Amino acid sequence: MEIYLIIILALMILGAVFSLHAKDLLSAVISYGIVGFGLVIAFLLLQAPDLALVLIVVEIITLIIMLAVIKNTTHEEEKKSFSLSSVIYVCVALLFTLFFFVIFARFGSGLARFGEDTMRMATAYIDAVHLTGSANLVTGVVFGFRAYDTLGEATVLFTAVVGVLAILRIKGKKEED
């Protein structure tokens, strides 16, 4: 199973790199779709159908909206001019990468290995099915133990919609004046 994951991850990296360097924006968007759908298959292989279900719908809708944007605007990328500030940005990014690398190399050795199940809360959630009564563990955690978090997520979505409507509604504002 691990070999499939490695193949899918390699394909995703290739798609991401190609979408950065593609000349036509349409092919860039389509090759970016490889990243999203590869992630869906990776989630399915890792036995997380909840995430895969959400992700495949979101990927399809995002792809449609991006294609609509490209159809209505242009296929060609804007020409970028080389400037001094871009060099400074790259230098600062490299500096931060080095900084975090040093920190994690020094203090990260005390942490558990990646993927090792040493988290106390995870086992507690699995044992506590009878508390929520939900056969789906993920929903039990999302709406039971972490309901505050879900309330926050729903509020973020609500605020986003209010913001979109307030910014895009140009004519309504004019009529009220």
Partner 1 sequence: MKGMSIIVQKICQIVAPVIFLFGIYIVIHGHLTPGGGFAGGVIMAGAFIFQIISYGSDLPKLQKKEFSLEILESSGILGFLIIACLGLLFSTVGIFFANFLPTGKIGELVSAGYIPLANIVVAAEVSAAISLIFLAMIVFKEEISDDR
Q: Which residues sit at the interface with partner 1, rule CB under 8 A?
A: 49-50, 53-54, 57-58, 60-61, 64-65, 68, 129-136, 138-140, 142-144, 147-148, 150-151, 153-155, 157-158, 160-161, 164-165, 168-172
Measured from the CB atom, the residue of 91 and 156 that comes closer to partner 1 is 156
Can you read off the two tokens belonging to residue 151? Answer: 């309330």
Cβ at position 130, least distance to partner 1 in Å: 7
Measured from the CB atom, the residue of 121 and 168 that comes closer to partner 1 is 168
Can you read off the two tokens belonging to residue 16? Answer: 């991401």
Measured from the CB atom, the residue of 64 and 111 that comes closer to partner 1 is 64
Cβ at position 87, least distance to partner 1 in Å: 37
Cβ at position 61, least distance to partner 1 in Å: 6
Cβ at position 20, least distance to partner 1 in Å: 26
